Chains A and B, each alone.
Chain A
Amino acid sequence: MNRSRARYWSYIPLVLLAIFYLLPLYVMLVTGFKGGDEISLKQMWFLPKAFNFDNYILAYQKLSPNLWNSLNVVIPAAILSSILGSLNGYVLAKWKFKGANVIFPLILFGMFIPYQSVLIPLVQFMHNIGLYGGLPGLVLVHIIYGIPITTLTFRNYYASIPNELVEAAKIDGAGMMRIYTNILLPISIPSFVVVLIWQFTQAWNDFLFSVVLTSPKNWTVTVALNNISGGQIVPWNLQMAGALLAALPTLIVYIFLGRYFLRGMMAGSLKG
């Protein structure tokens, strides 16, 4: 009895923590709505006098080419790396060839490396194959460096499917690809959602690859946002509106598909 009453005191730290996590979002949101007469830093914490959408419209005009660049990179990158991950995961879980148990950790290591350690050759390579500066090169890079995590997630999922299912299908005469397309692919749709939104989020939020590999007109939104931030050239309420626009796509995905996002997150620590 005593214990259960005491539990309710927990709401005090829980609410305080909620405020801590929401503070930056609050500042971003209210500042974006403020008009020219209330953008003084002194009024930072006040609510806006009226809802003024001008900043968001201006920020969108400024960042829209970059937002579209991001979208054009992220969607094909997420889809293609998920498909590759699913095929790899299937083979590494159900059609283990000799050496598969060595290759798997070698692939996994690729998701933990600091990308600086491949950056110089990557830039040279992109120059050599004529993909430096543009968006297709960035898509390729996100696909390849996405392979480890997508392979991991799918392999763990397919490994949890009983082998008897695959064996039974083999006896019935189904080949490797038939088993994949008819049995495993249909039941792995939730894993596809997990991997797709994880890759979407990772690629959308990427900064390093984009800043090193794209020319200014192909900058993704993170690079463009960083470029206008901190300085005096772009007013700070516009910076905040821009930050919110850059955060919105992944935030919306998180709000509606948070459960799947969480599973992707745990997979990243090998704890899926």
Chain B
Amino acid sequence: MRNRKEKWLAFLLVSPSILAVAVFVYGFIAWSIRVSFSAWKGMIPDYTFVGLKNYIDLFTNNQRFQIDIRNTLMFTTIFVLGTLILGLLTALLLDQGLKGEGFFRSLYIFPMAISYIVTGVVWRWLMNPAQGSRISGLNLLFHTLHLDFLNSSYTATPYWGMAFIALPAIWQLSGYTMAMYLAGLRAIPDELREAARVDGASEFEIFRFIVMPLLRPVTLSAMIILGHMSLKTFDLVVAVAGKQLPLDMPSINMWQTTFDAHLYGSGAAISILLLISTAVLIIPYLFFSLRKESQ
């Protein structure tokens, strides 16, 4: 009897949070879906139902959204690959028990503590595309070091500009990936590697046939986490690029379409497409992570 009362009390204790999440996450998503099916343009809400019109227009009649899709794919590919490679490399370097390991580890992770806006403000100057007598930033550094072949127009490069915004993103998140890989490497028992060494395996063979396969789950998790972050990228692009059409992302498009152009129906449709693309990655991930935990 008393136990039952306690259980009710427990439920009562979490109910404000459950209610808040129910309203602010699920209620608002449902509301956004409703807006995305509406003709709402201008300041006054207009919920006239127009079906999938806003979605169809985005795919058939909206050049900006085509740029967004291309940019998202380009940014995601380079950012995820770059972050995984750099993260794995640094983790392998640090996993050898060298002196100063903790120092280097902290150093590689510190960008995670900084806001994307700060990162963007600084990298914008580092990636200054100016040439000739006005050369500065990284280009100037490369020139001074006689590494002129690294000279680049960065985000001003036609077509590939978006790829360069991945650079500060890699800078910011490779430490995070490194931490994930380090945790994975620490979980591999030393005996496994020792046994392979006794059997005459080279260090490369140990890496290729023992370490890499055991790190595959880490790689998968990291890809999902980074991939979903990349789809949502917003602040960093705003800070590095301002709001330029060639460097647009769905998140920025949604913001401007909704709050500057007041095309609420279209803005909501972009936001729901963004939600679907992240949910496709995250829902299976949540499902498998929690199932593994309960076993």
Chain A residues at the B interface, C-beta cutoff of 8 Å: 3, 7-8, 10-11, 13-14, 17-18, 20-25, 27-28, 41-42, 44-45, 84, 87-88, 91-92, 95, 97, 101, 103-110, 112-125, 141, 144-145, 147-148, 151, 175-177, 201, 204-208, 212, 222, 225-226, 229-230, 236, 239-240, 242-243, 246-247, 250-251, 253-254, 258, 261-262, 265-266, 268-271
Contact = CB atoms under 8 A, between A and B. Distances in A.
A65 B11 CA distance: 41
B115 A41 contact: no
Contact of B136 (A42, A115, A222, A265): A42
Contacts of A28: 122
Contacts of A24: 119, 122-123, 126, 168, 171
9 contacts: A17-B104, A41-B130, A105-B290, A113-B25, A116-B271, A120-B258, A226-B117, A251-B113, A254-B110
A117 B126 contact: no
Give the top 8 A-B pairs by smallest Cβ distance, nearest first: A205-B115, A41-B136, A95-B10, A254-B113, A118-B28, A121-B31, A117-B275, A121-B28
B48 interface: no
Contacts of A91: 10-11, 13-14
Contacts of B25: 109-110, 113, 118
B227 to A, nearest CB: 11
A225 B121 contact: yes
Interface stretch (B51-59, B77-85, B280-288): B280-288
B271 A114 contact: yes
Contact of A207 (B115, B176, B250): B115
A225 B126 contact: no
Given A24-B122, A116-B274, A265 B176 contact: yes
A117 B28 CA distance: 8
Interface size class of B (residues with CB under 8 A): 35 or more
Q: Does more than half of chain B's interface fall in helix, strand or loop, or is it mixed?
A: helix
Contacts of B234: 116, 207-208
* Most chain B CB within a 10 A radius of its CB, from A42, A204, A269: A269
Contacts of A141: 24
A120 B271 CA distance: 9
Q: Does more than half of chain A's interface fall in helix, strand or loop, or is it mixed?
A: helix
Interface stretch (B15-23, B62-70, B156-164, B208-216): B15-23
A125 B23 CA distance: 11
* Most chain A CB within a 10 A radius of its CB, from B110, B144, B285, B290: B110
Nearest to A101: B294
Interface string B263-295: 010011011101100110011011101100010
A13 B91 CA distance: 12
Contact of A246 (B45, B118, B267, B274): B118
Contact of A88 (B14, B104, B254, B259): B14
Contacts of A23: 126
B17 A10 contact: no
Contacts of B285: 270
B122 A10 contact: no
Contact of B45 (A105, A109, A124, A258): A124
A21 B144 contact: no
* Most chain A CB within a 10 A radius of its CB, from B13, B25, B179, B283: B25
Contact of A7 (B32, B96, B106, B250): B96
B107 interface: yes
B29 interface: yes
A120 B10 contact: no
A3 B203 contact: yes
Contacts of B18: 103, 107
Contacts of A10: 93, 96, 98
Interface in B244-271: 250-251, 254-255, 258-259, 264, 267-268, 270-271
A107 B271 contact: no
A266 B11 CA distance: 28
A250 B21 CA distance: 27
A70 B111 CA distance: 20
